[in-house]
Chain A
Amino acid sequence: MTTPTRQAPASAAGHPSAERPARRFEPAVVGAILYREWRVFRRVWFSTAFGSIVEPIVYFVAFGFGFGALVAEVAGMSYFDFMATGTIAIGILFSSVFPGLINGYARRTEKHLYDGQLAAPVTVAELVTGEALWHALRVTVVAGVTVLVALAFGVRMGPGIVLVAPIAVVTGFGFAATGAAFAAKLRSWHGIDIVISGIIAPMFVVAGTFFPLDGLPGWAQAVGYANPLYHCVELLRGAAFGFEGLLAPLGNLAALAAFNLLAWLAAVRLVRRALID
């Protein structure tokens, strides 16, 4: 059976440039995802800032004054100075991995935002990159506010602490991608407990955040050195109180770069598998 077919008038032609050939990886699409996040952040920035102030205050009071009264000096510095950089690093970890994990799961399974975005000419790699990059940029606010809180508590950091922003971006990207990768594997909200208890909690403790690694058993030290948060803490400590040579920070940077690459590859692969039938 046949039916008559209308000829498409000229008005049906789309925006000519909207159909222009795209590169394999299109920065404009990543920019669109960043723009989406920025529009939301403009409305919710206060809760981010509030959390960024309250959390470090809790850590400084509990660990700084609590442990600080028992332990005068750690690794050649006051315990308060030692844990200050650990607190910044924990802020970076939590503020990147949790949005990657929780938003990633909710947007895939409940809000179906990714289905909508992938119906546009968007690749999974662009989607993962855009979201991880946003979380990494947003983390600079958290880290910056934590630095201010630390200064208010009397921690005397050097001018190198301005490096906290790039360190936060580099570390936050990898953690956000890690969160996205785990989110892609979750089948229900219950799975988040496993990720938090099994991955994130050990990660933030065994990283030289509140105590140095060299007091731990050998196997735990090995885990700590493999922990990307440890390399973030080391970079922050160097930035705040001075680096001892270039080799160590370059090694820390290389470790974070490798972690970022692995986390991004894993996130792209797992998110694609979760979203494309």
Chain B
Amino acid sequence: MSSSHLSPPAILLRDVVKRFGPITAVDHLDFEVPTGSCFGLLGPNGAGKSTMMRLLTGQGVADSGRVEVLGHPLPAASRAARAACGVVPQVDNLDDELTVAENLEVYARLQRVPRTERLAAVEHGLALARLTDRRDATAAALSGGMRRRLLIARGLVHRPRLVLLDEPTVGLDPQIRAQLWSQIAEIRDEGATVLMSTHYIEEAERLCDEVAVVHAGRVVAQGGPRELVAALVGTEVMEIGGDADDLRRVERQAREAGLGTRRSGTTVAVLGAEHLDGQAWATGFRRPANLEDVFVVLTGEELG
């Protein structure tokens, strides 16, 4: 991790450990989120991302290590940290008994937005969620995509300096996911620091300035998405299909050529394919390398 950023980090974790009985969910975790950046925690389900998010909102307390959010040490100053944070949870916890506008208003009150600014905050939230015309509908009556947009707007109703997005687009169809990406990009472009957890490669690559690849509660690599890909798996990958014997042969030949491979279903992906110059065994589908290749190389597991 670089320490070249001029402003203090928005989030700082040092040697953080969190256990649940015999399970170590967060294992000596270290990372910093630079102020003003969009930072991604990339890992499969069960990697410890949501536990990390709970530690940052004071809803989890680390067994050891140091956690700071916007300069506030946690858990001691978690209330001050939460006042400056907007949280968009993975689990949909909209208040179904309230209308769309009431959901925003109640959270504006909980966030202690001053009375004189509350109405404007609610209107801004409605516009952000593109639900102005559904303001009086109960949250229970909204579609999945609308609910997710409202969840994001609710997390931003007090215009936080730091936004924590836990799997913001999980379970949504591609069209709605694309809509939410533009919503998240707006947050980022307005200057808020964004920390988002995701297991979607495309999401991390499109939105994040920097990603931390998380596996078994640890950060196994960190950097800009393109830099990570280039450094660890090269720029291109060649997918080569065949039966089991063919795949084993490709793996052996790639190894002899000094290239890495990863199995993916019925194909072998040969990493660093830009170095393959017309070798007879290497014929297949060429594609750009991505963060999933990085993840598999680092952990031996698929993102899922």
**Contact status B191-A32, CB under 8 Å:** no
**Contact status A20-B61, CB under 8 Å:** no
**Contact status B112-A28, CB under 8 Å:** yes
Instruction: From the candidates B51, B93, B97, name the one contacting A115 in the complex (CB within 8 A).
Output: B93
Instruction: From the candidates A3, A120, A277, name the one contacting B111 in the complex (CB within 8 A).
Output: A120
- Chain A residues whose CB sits within 8 angstroms of the CB of B209 once the complex forms: 3-6
User: At the interface, yes or no: A14 with Cβ under 8 Å from chain B?
Assistant: yes
**Which of A8, A115, A118 counts the most B-chain CB atoms under 10 A from its CB?**
A8
CB B71 to nearest CB in A, in angstroms, measures 12
Instruction: From the candidates A9, A17, A32, A33, name the one contacting B190 in the complex (CB within 8 A).
Output: A9
> Which stretch (B78-86, B167-175, B257-265, B282-290) binds chain A?
B78-86
User: At the interface, yes or no: A36 with Cβ under 8 Å from chain B?
Assistant: yes
User: At the interface, yes or no: A247 with Cβ under 8 Å from chain B?
Assistant: no
**Contact status A13-B159, CB under 8 Å:** yes
CA distance A2 to B2 in the complex (A): 6
CA distance A17 to B54 in the complex (A): 25
- Chain B residues whose CB sits within 8 angstroms of the CB of A115 once the complex forms: 59, 89, 91, 93
- Chain B residues whose CB sits within 8 angstroms of the CB of A118 once the complex forms: 57-59
Interface size class of B (residues with CB under 8 A): 35 or more
User: At the interface, yes or no: A70 with Cβ under 8 Å from chain B?
Assistant: no
- Chain A residues whose CB sits within 8 angstroms of the CB of B106 once the complex forms: 32, 35-36, 39
- Chain A residues whose CB sits within 8 angstroms of the CB of B57 once the complex forms: 118-119
Known: A17-B114, A21-B80, A111-B93. A8 touches B107 (CB 8 A): no
- Chain A residues whose CB sits within 8 angstroms of the CB of B20 once the complex forms: 277
**Contact status A29-B84, CB under 8 Å:** no
CB A35 to nearest CB in B, in angstroms, measures 6
Identify the closest chain A residue to B226 (Cβ): A3
- Chain B residues whose CB sits within 8 angstroms of the CB of A116 once the complex forms: 87, 89, 93-95, 107, 154
CA distance A28 to B85 in the complex (A): 19
**Contact status A11-B191, CB under 8 Å:** yes
Q: Which of A13-68 contact B (CB under 8 A)?
A: 13-15, 17-22, 26, 28-29, 31-33, 35-36, 39-40, 43
Contact with B along A140-156 (1 / 0, CB 8 A): 00000000000000000
CB B105 to nearest CB in A, in angstroms, measures 8
CA distance A19 to B228 in the complex (A): 36
**Contact status A14-B89, CB under 8 Å:** no
> Which stretch (B31-39, B243-251, B296-304) binds chain A?
B31-39
**Contact status B61-A22, CB under 8 Å:** no
**Contact status B227-A277, CB under 8 Å:** no
Contact with B along A106-131 (1 / 0, CB 8 A): 00000111011111111100000000
Contact with A along B82-123 (1 / 0, CB 8 A): 111101010111111110001001110111111001000100
CA distance A6 to B34 in the complex (A): 9
CB A129 to nearest CB in B, in angstroms, measures 14
Q: Which of B7-45 contact A (CB under 8 A)?
A: 7, 18, 20, 34-37
User: At the interface, yes or no: A276 with Cβ under 8 Å from chain B?
Assistant: yes
User: At the interface, yes or no: A163 with Cβ under 8 Å from chain B?
Assistant: no
User: At the interface, yes or no: B160 with Cβ under 8 Å from chain A?
Assistant: yes
**Contact status A5-B35, CB under 8 Å:** yes
**Which of B105, B111, B210 counts the most A-chain CB atoms under 10 A from its CB?**
B111
User: At the interface, yes or no: A12 with Cβ under 8 Å from chain B?
Assistant: yes
User: At the interface, yes or no: B193 with Cβ under 8 Å from chain A?
Assistant: yes
**Contact status A29-B112, CB under 8 Å:** yes
User: At the interface, yes or no: A194 with Cβ under 8 Å from chain B?
Assistant: no
User: At the interface, yes or no: A7 with Cβ under 8 Å from chain B?
Assistant: yes
CB B74 to nearest CB in A, in angstroms, measures 12
CA distance A117 to B222 in the complex (A): 32
Q: Which of B58-85 contact A (CB under 8 A)?
A: 58-61, 79-80, 82-85
**Contact status A1-B190, CB under 8 Å:** no
Instruction: From the candidates A4, A8, A40, A120, name the one contacting B97 in the complex (CB within 8 A).
Output: A40
**Contact status B224-A3, CB under 8 Å:** yes
CB B83 to nearest CB in A, in angstroms, measures 4
CA distance A45 to B126 in the complex (A): 27
CA distance A50 to B231 in the complex (A): 69
Identify the closest chain A residue to B20 (Cβ): A277
CB A8 to nearest CB in B, in angstroms, measures 4
- Chain A residues whose CB sits within 8 angstroms of the CB of B199 once the complex forms: none
CA distance A3 to B2 in the complex (A): 8
For this complex, 18 residue pairs linking A to B, each with C-beta atoms less than 8 Å apart, are A6-B37, A6-B209, A7-B191, A11-B191, A12-B192, A14-B84, A17-B117, A18-B111, A22-B79, A22-B83, A26-B112, A29-B112, A33-B110, A39-B106, A119-B59, A121-B82, A121-B83, A277-B20
Contacts from B to A (Cβ < 8 Å): 2, 4-5, 7, 18, 20, 34-37, 51, 54, 57-61, 79-80, 82-85, 87, 89, 91-98, 102, 105-107, 109-114, 117, 121, 154, 158-161, 190-193, 209-210, 222-224, 227-228, 231
Contacts A2-B2, A119-B89, A277-B54 supplied; 17 other A-B pairs, CB < 8 Å: A1-B223, A2-B4, A3-B227, A5-B5, A5-B36, A6-B36, A8-B161, A11-B191, A15-B114, A18-B112, A39-B98, A40-B98, A115-B91, A116-B89, A121-B111, A122-B110, A275-B59
The 7 closest A-B pairs by CB, nearest first: A1-B223, A12-B191, A32-B109, A2-B2, A112-B93, A119-B87, A8-B191
